[in-house]
Each structure stands twice: as structure tokens, then as C-alpha cells.
Structure 1
């Protein structure tokens, strides 16, 4: 199979039939063998009923229904697990991503040898200052922190070689950072393509300003995990040793000063340096123990399901 199109969605009933017709027309006109995997992330409208109707009409349409809303990252993870294509295309279900971009995104993986190609919505139709300015700041911070030179990390329209999606773990709200997850897994040939952005035709956006706050917090998380996720002792242990050493040096100085240099002076417990030394050694010990416990947890953890699937179609 050439292409798997993975589409997470939440309450997008109005756009699904039009999106399916558009994708199917592109696939058939380019003679691709394909599958379209819709992941219903706990919709409360008739989205799942529409997906059922499409799957009955076309066996290339497949569906996954979550028991409740688990989030876009979990939806993508479920879609990646089921995808059978050599190239996987992800896009949003709101018709803002243009399926006509699929052939070139496919060729950039197959012919140009990219591991991952991310879309860049250079010209947008949701040009609200309150949305675009935080987005630009977020993308700038992501580039500087990750070293991945993309203009639009959050663009849902991306293409992947199948080896990428089968070897990365998308969890939490890390869908924004799939290029960084791919880079950390060793897939470094990451490209970018300017893609056409469509104005939203139905409904309203599911994202508010809080997504940028969450995005920055996730960026800090993934930076930490990429550097210290497999060796927490390197961070916490080092901090613990340094702080304990500083505290011990303070305590040693106070002891020498009291015993040999100024025996008639104030009691050690009456000097503020004593409490600085005590607190620093305690915090250093706690950091060291945190790193030690982190190493133990990494070696004993078991994978757990992050979402519950209610129903599947054609899978």
C-alpha cells in the first residue's frame, strides 16, 4: 500500500463527507493505493455515524472510535499503530489542510528521501493577532530549543516514512513536537514544504489561547526528556552532589572556625551560615535521591494503555 492518511477529529461531522471525497479524488487521479483512517477522539456529534457510512461505501475507509476524548496525540498514536502504508500522511479534519498537497508530500518521502516532511502554512486565513503572535513566538522557541529548523511545528499536514511512525511514541500532548521526537529517535532527514491553508468552512476551532501555554510547557518537558529522560541521575545526581558539597564546605568552615580560630565566639547554631549549610546539604541529598529513584523507575516501569478504543471499522 502506498499511502495511509491518518485523520484525528473531534466533532467534525459537517466536513467529513467533503474531506473524504476530496482525498479519494486525489488518490484515484494519482493511482495511489491508499487507506483513510479516521480517529474519532470522543466526538459528541454524529461524526462516528458519518465514518460508519463512509466505511460501508468504501473499504479503504477505516475508523477508530475512542471511548472519550483522550487528545490529539493519543489519536495520532492509535492511527500510527494501525497504518499500513509506506508513507503516512496526517491532516486535520476541518478542511483547513489541502489534500492536493498529498502527491508532492508523498514524492518528497519516496523520491527525495526525507524521513519526515512538515507543512508550513506560510499564508494563513486565521490571521488574528492574538493567535499568530503567540504562534510565532512558540515556533521560534521550539526552533531554538530543539535545533529542528521548521517554521510551523503545529501544522497538522505532515508526511512520514513508515519507519518513523512505527518507532516514535506520541503521548501526552506531544503531537506538536513529532519532528523533535523523530530527530531524537535518529530520523534526522527532516524537510519542510509550504502548503496551502484553507479557511475553516464549518464549525469553530477546538483550540484556544491555552494551547500555547501548554505548548511551551510541553517544549520544556520534551527538552528535558530528550536530554535526561534516560539518565535522570546525570541531572539530579550532579545537582545533588554539587549542593551537598557546597553545604558540607560551609559546615566544615564553621567547624574549623569554632574549634581552632574563634573558640570563644558565637555558637555554630547562632550563625546564619549554619542553616545555609544544613538546608543546602538536605536539598542536595534530596536531588540525589530523586535521580536515584528516577533510574529505578526507568528500569521497572511497564507500558500502560493511554486510551480506550470503543469501536473499529475495517481494521
Structure 2
């Protein structure tokens, strides 16, 4: 199979049939063999009924339905597990991603050898204050932190070589950072393509300003995990040992100074009345806690097991 189109969605019944017809027209006109996988992330409208109807109409259409809303990352994770294409293309279901971009994205991966191609919506039809400006700030921070030079990390329109999506783990809200996850997994041949952005035709956006706050928090998380995720002791242990040593020598100096005063008959006070004694003691305790945090992190890392992150309520018969 040449192409898998993976489409996560939430309450997009109005756009699904039109989106399917557009995608199918593009794929058939280019003689692609394909599958279209819709992942219904807990929709409360008739999205799933529409997917079932499309699957009855076209055996290349497949559907996964979650029993509730788990988030875009979990939907992509489920779609990636089922995808069988040599090239996997993701896109949003709201008709803001243009299916006419699919052939060029496919060629960049299948013929030009790129492992991941990310769409870049250079000209956007979103609200400038609530989406465009925050998006630019967010993308600049992501480029600086991750070292991946993309203009639009959050664009849903992306193309992947099969082995990329089979070897990265999209969890939490990390769908924004799939290029960073791919880079951390050793897939360095990453580029971007300027793509057309469509104005929203139906409904309203499912994301608010809070997604940028969560996005920055996730960015910190992925930076930390890429640096210390495999060896948390390197960070926490180093900080712990450093702080313990500083506190220990500070306490030793207080003790030495007390003995010096006693030996020379100088006026002396109780150690307990010296505030630096409590400061040094606190630093040693914090250092010990850092060290234990690193040790526990190592134990958790070595004993972790895969946990169920979402529940699939049903799938179409052909999946």
C-alpha cells in the first residue's frame, strides 16, 4: 500500500463527507493505492455514523472510535498503530488542510528521501491576536529549544516514512512535537513544505488560548526528556551531590570556627543559634532529596510498563 491518510477528529460531521470526496478524488487521479483512517476522538455529534457510512461506501475507509475524548495525540497514536502505508500523511478534519498537497508530500518522502515533511501554513486565515501571534512565539521557542528548524510545528498536515511513525511514541499532548520526537529517535532528514491554509468552513475551532500554555509546558517536558529522560540520575544526582557537598562544607566550617573560638578562649555561641547552621542543614537535606529523586527516577524508568492510554469503543469492520 502506498499511502495511509490518518485523520483525527472531534465533532466534524459537517465536513467529513466533503473531506473524503476531496481526498479520494486526489488519490484516485494520481493512481495511488490508499487507506483513509478516521479516528473519532469521542465525538458527541454524528461523526461516527458518517464514518461508518463512508466505510460502507468505500472499503479503503477505516474508522476507530474512542469511548470518550482522549486528545489528538492519543488519536494519532491509535491511527499510527493501524496504518499500513509506506507513506503516512496526517491532516485535520476541518477542511483547513488542503488535500491537493498530498501528491507533493508523498513525492518528497517516497522519491526525495525525506523521513518527515511538515506543512508550513505561511499564510493563515486565523485570528491574528488569538492564534497567529501566539503561534509565532510558540514556534520560535520550539525552534530554539529543540534545534529543529521548522516554521510551523503545530500544522496538522505532515508526511512520514512508515518507519518513523512506527518507532516514535506520541503521548500526552506531544502531537505538536512529533518532529522533535522523530529527531530524538534518530530521524534527522526532516524538512518542511509551504502548504495552503483554508479558512474554516464549518463549526468552530476545538482549541483555545490554553493550548499555547500547555504547549510551552510540553516543550519544557520534551526538552527535559530529550536531555535526561534516559538517565534522570545525571541531572538530579548531580544537583543532589553538589548541594550536599556545599551544605556539608558549610556545616564543617561552622564546626571548625566553633572549635577555633573554644581553643583560643574567644566568646562563643551555641551552634543552634547560628542561622548558617540551619541553612547548611537545609541544603544537605535538599541535596539528599534530589539524589533520591534521581535514584527513584532510574528505578521507575527500568520498571515501567505500558499502560492503557485510551479505550477503543468500536472500529469499522474492515479494520
Mark yes or no: TM-score above 0.5: yes
Match of 2:11 in 1: 11
- Segments of structure 2 that go 5 or more residues without pairing to the other structure are none
Deviates more, 1:122-131 or 1:265-274: 122-131
Q: 1 CA distance for matches of 2:277 and 2:187?
A: 52
Match of 1:268 in 2: 271
Q: 2 CA distance for matches of 1:284 and 1:11?
A: 50
Match of 1:57 in 2: 57
Match of 1:32 in 2: 32
Q: CA deviation at 1:268?
A: 1.1
Q: 2 CA distance for matches of 1:254 and 1:233?
A: 30
Matched, 1:139 2:142: no
Match of 2:91 in 1: 91
Q: CA deviation at 1:264?
A: 3.4
Task: Give CA-to-partner distance per residue, 1:110-147, whole Å, 9 cap, x none.
Answer: 11110000000000111422221111100000000000
Task: Give CA-to-partner distance per residue, 1:187-233, whole Å, 9 cap, x none.
Answer: 00001000000000000000000000000000000000111111000
Aligned residue runs from structure 1 range 199-238, under 5 A:
199-238=199-238
Aligned residue runs from structure 1 range 110-189, under 5 A:
110-189=110-189
SS of match in other structure, 2:143: helix
Q: 2 CA distance for matches of 1:131 and 1:55?
A: 34
Aligned residue pair count: 315
Q: CA deviation at 1:183?
A: 0.2
Task: Give CA-to-partner distance per residue, 1:70-104, whole Å, 9 cap, x none.
Answer: 00000000000000000000000000000000000
What is the TM-score when the length of structure 2 is the normalising length?
Answer: 0.98
Match of 2:252 in 1: 252
SS of match in other structure, 2:5: strand
Q: 1 CA distance for matches of 2:259 and 2:133?
A: 62
Q: 2 CA distance for matches of 1:258 and 1:267?
A: 9
- From 290, 295, 302, the counterpart of 2:305: 302
Match of 2:81 in 1: 81
Q: CA deviation at 1:285?
A: 0.2
Q: CA deviation at 1:30?
A: 0.1
Q: CA deviation at 1:261?
A: 3.8
Deviates more, 1:295-304 or 1:42-51: 295-304
Over the residues paired in the alignment, what is the CA RMSD in angstroms? 0.7
What is the TM-score when the length of structure 1 is the normalising length?
Answer: 0.99
4+ runs of 1 displaced by more than 3 Å?
261-264
